[in-house]
Amino acid sequence: EVVMTQSPATLSVSPGDRATLSCRASQTIFSNLAWYQQKPGQPPRLLIYGASTRATGVPARFSGSGSGTEFTLTISSLQSEDFAVYYCQQYENWPPYTFGQGTKLEIK
């Protein structure tokens, strides 16, 4: 099973600043990585797939990078609606498909 490890667990950032979230896979997953955003009481929303491709309707301030085992989600110029929990998920080696434990992005 591929273990996905996200860091940090909580990230405190001021509105307008940049946020950088990390996700590490226990073995190579090439570029088969997705990022999701989840707000309280809502289902997750797909942000990024293929490590760097934005899903339909996702603002350009969200960007993904990385390949192999190290991945990054960057949110430039944080907006109030961006404060949420973010999950990464690998879809290279399955079953099972595995998610990271999440990073909570909170207002500083």
Partner 1 sequence: EVHLAESGGGLVQPGRSLRLSCTTSGFAFGDFALTWVRQAPGKGLEWVGFISGKPSAGRTEYAASVKGRFSISRDDSKSIAYLQMNSLKTDDTAVYYCTRGPYYDSSGYCDYWGQGILVTVSS
Q: Can residue 40 be called a binding residue for partner 1 (CB under 8 A)?
A: no
CB neighbours of residue 51 within 10 Å: 22
Nearer to partner 1, 27 or 101 (CB): 101
Q: Can residue 45 be called a binding residue for partner 1 (CB under 8 A)?
A: yes
Q: Can residue 57 be called a binding residue for partner 1 (CB under 8 A)?
A: no
Q: Which two tokens stand for residue 49?
A: 């797939």
The only residue of 22, 30, 31, 55 in contact with partner 1, by rule CB under 8 A: 55
Least distance to partner 1, CB of residue 83, Å? 18
Residues 73 to 102: which contact partner 1 by CB under 8 A? 87, 89, 91, 94-102
Q: Can residue 62 be called a binding residue for partner 1 (CB under 8 A)?
A: no
Strands annotated E in 39-101: 45-49, 53-54, 62-67, 70-75, 85-90, 98-99
Contacts for 34 with CB less than 8 Å, ≥ 6 apart: 46, 47, 48, 49, 50, 88, 89, 91
Q: Can residue 30 be called a binding residue for partner 1 (CB under 8 A)?
A: no
